[in-house]
Structure 1
Amino acid sequence: MIGLVDANNFYVSCERIFAPSLEGKAVGVMSNNDGCVIARSAEMKAMEIPMGTPSFQLEGLRRRGEIYLLSSNYELYGDMSARLAQLLEDACPDMAPYSIDEMFIYLDGLSEPQCQAIGEALRRRIRRHLGLPVCVGLAPTHTLAKLANHVAKKQPHYQGVCLLNAHSNTTTALLKQLPVSAVWGVGRRLAEQLAIYGIRTAWELRESDTKALRKRFSVVLARTALELRGTPCLEMNAVEQPRQRIMTSRSFGKATGDQAELHAALRRHAQRSAEKLRQQHSLARAVMLFLSTNRHRKDQPQYYPRAMISLPIPSDDTRLILQAVREGLMQIYRPGHHFIKAGVMLLDLVDAQAHQLSLLQPTLQTHPHLMGTVDAINQRMGQGTIRFGMTDAQAPWQLRCAHRSRRYTTRWDELMEAGTHPGAIQAFTSRP
């Protein structure tokens, strides 16, 4: 049996753990630079405020106290995700993270009543130890577990834990009601293509001929149909394939044309991309960087340059990548432009363990243990503890986060304070 543990409204729930006064209120978490709403509480959803609504359109509601908007606090969310993963690792024989708020657990050899009891116990334990509300979906396959979790969230009588047997009447009725777009891995475009062949519900996909699905669409869709029948076909190591490219980019809090400030932003993006590269045990052969002015400012000159620099050898060494970034910026920088976004992409990735050095390649002195040590310290002490080059916290390219909550679990100077006064919500939501 496979279980999917999914935190409900994860970003909002993380905020409410440390600000209980937000319980029962309409709360939204905004994107980078406080641009738009990317997470909503159930109360905000009930107000029919769509996902992605620009935050400036909600300013009136915020000022009247009808809603509360918070800046993204990714450091807090990431730490709470790590704590959730650790709790599940301690409680389950096998666990695999799927996203920041979703974790698969594997309960092989246990009966359905035992799995149900474990799901209910985990839900209580996570709520008690972390304060996070979660739902648990249990089924014989990954795809059905995702659907079971969906049911656990939408139907209150399951009390947050739903177990689906592949051949039960409940599962059959559910699959006949669900549109095919609700199935894991079936996006909008694929759903439109399936509709042409008369496949509009999850049940019709389940009953489709797998050979025809493989021929017309893909082997993955054929396996998804088998998963809906209760036959495990999708393994997590197949789902989590190494990326073919790694990109880190971000909009600036304020436009800047200063070369040193642009270099600082690109340097930070390059370091983060290099960390991701080492995490998946890959090497990059090339580095691409890009800058972008604000295309909505017609009164300003527009410029969208990009440069790609080949590395002397395939590498995951941050220092080599930073050298390429410096060279690329010198090529594309032009004074007189106000840039609003920058990014770094690592391209042409190869497996670090399978890569063979060629006799024709230059030999450079590298220090893999140095990079590993830097990553280990940053993972233990917090991202950016050790970095290459100085960073100005007041630089224009730094993110706007005028309504960010404290990073309660990762910063000594932002720990929870006792004796908060009744008007703390206003102070909390306007904290710089």
Structure 2
Amino acid sequence: MKGLIALVDCNNFYASCERVFRPWLHGLPLAVLSNNDGCVIARSQEVKDLGIAMGTPMHHLPREAFERGLVLCSSNYELYGDMSARVMATLREFTPHLEPYSIDESWLSFEGFDRAALPDHCQKLCGVVYKWTGIPVSVGAAPTRTLAKLANRHAKKHTATQGVFVIESANSPDTLALLERTPVSEVWGIGGRVTTRLYEMGIHTALDLARANPKWIRRRFSVVVERTARELAGTRCIDMNDAHDSKQMIMTSRSFGQMTADRHEVAEAVRAHAARGAEKLRRQRSLACALRVTVRTNRHMLHLPQDHDSITLALPRPTDNTFEIVRAAQRALQRLWKDRGIRYQKCGVQLMDLIEATGQQLDVFQPPQPTADREKSERLMSALDQLNGQYGRGTVTVGVQRQNAAWQLRSNHRSKRWSTRWDELPTVRLQ
């Protein structure tokens, strides 16, 4: 019999990260804003209780919420990423079989663990993660990933579980009751359109889907929905560490904090996006064969000159070298630029035609890169990534990146990057 799979999910992760180094925020309604402080992307439970929905624009937040102590935080992804790494490192103390799923979720396999002792083991996990990182987590364990998702959701919603809920069998009375209480729309992997079609066919709950004929489901929907139905019934269709396809393209793009017609400021943004894309390339061990640079104005401000243009360039050879990618992106911007005083709101760099770094096909018409040059490039990129990883993103950049440039994101409510910046480390004052 296979062991259980657990989903560990950090509770209100962004809000929890903000509270780790500022404990006085506990109990206050806390909302995290999107890039440029546009809208709400994360909420503490207190904000949810105020009825503030995800995606609410900042300027639409009700005055009553501020009167009740609403605290706003600009998104601080450097802090969130470091706190996520700390949580993952702690989880590895409890099982060697860990698969990160997102910045705040991980799959854990408890192969070989005594099922009777698993609830206590998971309770201990929650306590240690909170003690070592300050982040509260919930754990749902079950025979399949889809059931583990449901178990985790149940653990979060019901305080009596103390953050842990274990489904030992898909056919137990408690499991069947949970499936019957769960609308099919809340099942992992079931989207809005599929939900509508399932309703039309008389499938309203997770239990209805679990009892449906899988072959019938596949004929009317897809193999993905069929797998979901089988997993709800207790048949594991997705194993830990299944191979994941690499991304076919990498897009780095953000709106500017302010519109700008300054060519040098747009060039700074293009350099930053190209460098960030190259970093992602190396992380997934891929090489890019081409790139596309895009510039765009604000399409809602029709009284201003409009421009939405892009250009695609082939790279001289497949590469993940930051400097080669940045140079190509700058050439593309030079060809795109229009000296007409156009005020741009956004730019982006898309890396395309990605191939595996270990299995690239050499061009018969192009001499291969000399071994010494390739090794030098690899050492340089490794040092670049190590420095930015150790001392914080942006420690070493290609060209100047001014902190007050118009393209930099608005983040008027950003907290300090307490754990990744030397000049922002928390300090202790002795009495």
TM over 0.5: yes
Shift of 1:101: 0.6
Change in Cα spacing, 1:261 to 1:61, as seen in structure 2 (3 Å) is: farther
CA distance in 1, matches of 2:166, 2:66: 43
CA distance in 2, matches of 1:249, 1:157: 43
Change in Cα spacing, 1:241 to 1:201, as seen in structure 2 (3 Å) is: farther
TM-score after normalising by structure 2: 0.93
Match of 2:294 among 276, 290, 308: 290
Matched, 1:248 2:238: no
Identity %: 46
Instruction: State the match for 2:307 in structure 1.
Output: 303
TM-score after normalising by structure 1: 0.93
Spell out the pairing of 1:28-427 with structure 2 (5 A cutoff).
Answer: 28-58=31-61, 60-61=63-64, 64=67, 66-165=69-168, 166-238=170-242, 240-335=244-339, 336-364=341-369, 365-366=373-374, 367-418=377-428
Shift of 1:320: 2.2
Match of 1:3 among 2, 6, 25: 6
Instruction: State the match for 1:425 in structure 2.
Output: none
Shift of 1:236: 4.5
How big is each residue's C-alpha offset from its partner over 1:144-181, in whole Å with a ceiling of 9 and x where there is no partner?
11110000001111111000121211111111221222
Q: AA paired with 1:87?
A: T
Q: AA paired with 1:133?
A: P
Q: Which piece of structure 1 moves more, 94-103 or 228-237? A: 228-237
CA contact (8 A) 1:62 1:68 kept: no
Shift of 1:417: 3.2
Q: Which piece of structure 1 moves more, 232-241 or 373-382? A: 232-241
Q: AA paired with 1:331?
A: R
CA distance in 2, matches of 1:420, 1:332: 57
Shift of 1:343: 1.0
CA contact (8 A) 1:7 1:101 kept: yes
CA contact (8 A) 1:312 1:362 kept: no
Q: Which piece of structure 1 moves more, 410-419 or 64-73? A: 410-419
Aligned length: 421
Shift of 1:215: 3.0
* SS of equivalent residue, structure 1 residue 252: strand
Instruction: State the match for 1:20 in structure 2.
Output: 23
Q: AA paired with 2:233?
A: R
What is the CA RMSD across the aligned residues, in angstroms?
Answer: 1.9
Q: AA paired with 1:220?
A: V
Shift of 1:128: 1.2
* SS of equivalent residue, structure 2 residue 301: coil
* SS of equivalent residue, structure 1 residue 51: coil
CA distance in 2, matches of 1:342, 1:420: 47
CA distance in 1, matches of 2:29, 2:66: 13
CA distance in 1, matches of 2:275, 2:241: 26
Change in Cα spacing, 1:350 to 1:213, as seen in structure 2 (3 Å) is: farther
Q: Which runs of 4+ in 1 moved over 6 A?
A: none
Change in Cα spacing, 1:135 to 1:378, as seen in structure 2 (3 Å) is: same
Q: AA paired with 1:203?
A: L
Change in Cα spacing, 1:236 to 1:278, as seen in structure 2 (3 Å) is: farther
Q: Which piece of structure 1 moves more, 386-395 or 44-53? A: 386-395
Shift of 1:334: 1.2
* SS of equivalent residue, structure 1 residue 105: strand
* Structure 2: segments with no counterpart, 5+ residues: none
* SS of equivalent residue, structure 1 residue 305: strand
CA distance in 1, matches of 2:430, 2:212: 59
* Structure 1: segments with no counterpart, 5+ residues: 422-432
